[in-house]
Structure 1
Amino acid sequence: MSIDWTAVAAGIALFIWVADKFQRSRERFANRRLLAQIMTSPVGNARLEVAGLRQQLAADGAKELQELAVAATARVALWERVKTISVDLPSQFYDKADMFEHTTSTILAAALSSVNEVKSAVKITAELRANAAEQELFDHINLIGQNVINADSALERAFTELTRVGRAG
């Protein structure tokens, strides 16, 4: 009886490949958890800013939203506040975004997009000409309000998802 050394070598190679795959899977899992934990802070900070903005706009029967319709200075002041809101994700996220599941990436993308939509709506409204039609102003102000609500919800989902991924294990 002779030993088929090719089959033995193939078996050893297969064992090494499976062991390496398992080890890499564990490393990816640990990296995903760590990155999610790091990302909870910037997402949480952005959510606090947007939630504060939402509360400010809704205070006193939405007095500030009403002020936006009549005062260009109020629109510019709101833009000055909103333009600083950002979700500063670490560069590792952009380098290794494929590390996260599709669901997590989709939730994060929605949160980033929603913050950009708020900023765009506020900027466009701040740049409206002084003699803009009343209906145009109200449409823009309504859009701001809706985008702030959407951003708050999207950031909440992103924070919850990152917390879930960061604790998984």
Structure 2
Amino acid sequence: MTTPVGATQIEIAKFRCYVVPSDSDQTYLLEVRNDESARKYLAAQASKITIDLPSQFLDKADIFSETVNNRLANAFSQVNRLKKMSSLLADLLDSALEEEISQHLMAVLNQIKEAEQATAEAFQALLKAGKPS
């Protein structure tokens, strides 16, 4: 049950490392802010992030506790929100105001954190649910 959510965690971590490398190099962020094609590429990469909920969740959600259901639903929502926010950033033309582009970019960066946190919480909830009492 944890594998799909764990895979999503890895995808988001890879995406985060691509967007904001661990060495704090902001070259890519500047490119995204200044270049429409870089924004479109970022959105294309974000669109590849998937969260496949466990089939048990889709078939029989009542087998999970309310906490697990809530965590899974939140993770699903946050990942989809990341994709949507990245898409909105990609829709901004180079002629858009720099401040508007920067605000959208900051929203995407914050959403990466939100999606990472939500998937981590869902993963932990699934792990806890899978342990015998």
Alignment match, 1:67: 31
Question: Residues 80-116 of structure 1: CA distance to partner in whole angstroms, max 9, x if unpaired?
Answer: 1111111112443122112211111111111111101
Decide whether the 8 Å contact of 1:57 with 1:63 is kept in 2.
no
The match for 1:85 is 49
Separation in structure 2 between the aligned mates of residue 92 and residue 154 of structure 1, nearest angstrom: 19
Cα drift, residue 145 of structure 1? 0.2
Q: Deviations over 1:28-62 (max 9, x none)?
A: xxxxxxxxxx2x11101111010111122222433
Confirm whether residue 103 of structure 1 aligns to residue 67 of structure 2: yes
Distance of aligned partners of 1:107 and 1:90 in 2 relative to their CA distance in 1, 3 Å threshold? closer
**Secondary structure of the equivalent of 1:94?**
helix
Please report the RMSD computed on the Cα atoms of aligned residues, expressed in angstroms. Answer: 1.3
Q: Which 10-residue stretch deviates more, 49-58 or 88-97?
A: 88-97
- Aligned-partner SS, 1:61: coil
TM-score, structure 1 as length reference: 0.73
TM-score normalized with structure 2 length: 0.91
Percent same amino acid among aligned pairs?
34
Q: Number of residues paired by the alignment? A: 131
Could you tell me which amino acid in structure 2 is paired with residue 64 of structure 1?
Answer: Y
Q: In structure 2, list runs of 5 or more residues that go unmatched.
A: none
Whether contact under 8 Å (1:47, 1:155) holds in the other structure is: yes
Q: Which residue of 1 aligns with 2:92?
A: 128
What is the match of residue 9 of structure 2?
Answer: 47
Residue 158 of structure 1 deviates from its aligned partner by: 0.8
Q: 1:127 & 1:99 partners in 2: Cα distance?
A: 41
- Alpha-carbon distance in structure 2 between the residues aligned to 1:62 and 1:120: 23
Q: Which 4+ residue blocks in structure 1 deviate beyond 6 angstroms?
A: none
Match in the other structure for 2:19: 57
Which of structures 1 and 2 has the bigger CA Rg?
1
User: 2:53 touches 2:72 (CA, 8 Å); kept in 1?
Assistant: no
